[in-house]
Amino acid sequence: MTVAAASVAGGGGCRHLAIIMDGNGRWAQGRRLPRIAGHREGVQAVRRVVEAAPGLGLDVLTLYAFSSENWKRPADEVSDLMGLLRHYVQHELDTLHRNGVRLDFIGDWQALKPDLVRLLETARDKTRANTGLRLVMALNYGGQGEIVRAAKALAAEAVAGTLSPDDITSEMLEARLDTAKVCGGLPLPDAVLRTSGELRLSNFLLWQAAYAEFLVTDTLWPDFDGAALAAALDDFSRRERRFGGR
């Protein structure tokens, strides 16, 4: 299916797509290039997908950009990833803003280096009033850590006496997740897509993805483009979502 055809089809009702962008290292290894070359090509894939997303009916695109576990990688690779993040925001911000994209972040991103945090805050604030695609980057993010932060917030309220533990509901915990705390809150993802053929969530949106459709493609992230996105959304459109009802 072409991008144009999928645009007509409307993406089968998928409004919020979350993507685990996997395969940069294998892409580079297959070409006997350093891993940073794969990450650089991955940034180009981000650009292609962000450009294609609105025409395919997506309202929210959440990208797993840097996990809390990624700190375990070699220091030079982590430095390269942070540099690419900084470069992307600096060089794409004006284009994103001009196209009406609203940029948000989830995760413990405010624990990054102060100058990077300031850059991210500036980008978020500049695009806050935009009404087009919401582009959400998960930075220094881990689903388990997110749930722990929400549980700690509820526990603090219980200790302060403003909340009885017996009154805690799943809705209350969900309201304290990162995705609820960004300005305006985020809807739950309709689907989680993973590139490179791997079959695991890797600690991504563990709570939010409870009833999301899981989409997998063998395409490595640096090779991903609008046509591949259209194909994934076409796959989603063929699913029957049951939400545990039957």
pLDDT digits (tens, 9 = 90+) for 194-243: 999 999 999 999 999 999 999 999 999 999 999 999 999 999 999 988 77
pLDDT above 60 for 9: no
The average pLDDT across 149-157 equals: 96
pLDDT bucket at 245, cuts 50 / 70 / 90: low
**Beta carbons of 61 and 226 less than 8 angstroms apart:** no
22 catalytic residue (yes or no): yes
The average pLDDT across 183-187 equals: 92
pLDDT above 70 for 246: no
pLDDT of residue 1: 32
pLDDT above 90 for 4: no
pLDDT above 70 for 82: yes
Sheet with 60-67, strands from edge to edge, namely 102-106, 134-141, 60-67, 16-20, 191-194, 213-216
pLDDT of residue 244: 72
Considering only CA atoms, which of 48, 131, 87 is closest in space to residue 19? Answer: 48
Mean pLDDT of all residues belonging to the chain: 93
Share of the chain above pLDDT 90, in %: 91
pLDDT bucket at 12, cuts 50 / 70 / 90: low
pLDDT bucket at 5, cuts 50 / 70 / 90: very low
How far apart CA 84 and CA 97 sit, in angstroms, is 19
pLDDT above 70 for 22: yes
pLDDT of residue 6: 37
pLDDT of residue 183: 85
pLDDT of residue 163: 92
- Which of 10-14, 54-58, 163-167 reaches the highest mean pLDDT? 54-58
How far apart CA 47 and CA 25 sit, in angstroms, is 19
Catalytic option among 22, 104, 178, 190: 22
130 catalytic residue (yes or no): no
pLDDT above 80 for 2: no
The average pLDDT across 59-70 equals: 97
Catalytic option among 59, 70, 108, 225: 70
pLDDT of residue 184: 87
pLDDT of residue 108: 96
What kind of architecture, by CATH, is found in domain 3-237?
3-Layer(aba) Sandwich (3.40)
With 0-12 CB in 10 A as exposed, 13-18 as middle and 19+ as buried, what is 231?
A: middle
Q: Which residues are within 8 A (CB) of 206 and not within 5 positions of it... i.e. 6 or more apart?
A: 143, 144, 146, 147
Q: Which residues are within 8 A (CB) of 230 and not within 5 positions of it... i.e. 6 or more apart?
A: 1, 2, 3, 5, 6, 7, 52, 56
| Phi/psi of residue 92, nearest 5 degrees | -105, -10
* Beta strand extents in 6-53 (DSSP E only): 16-20
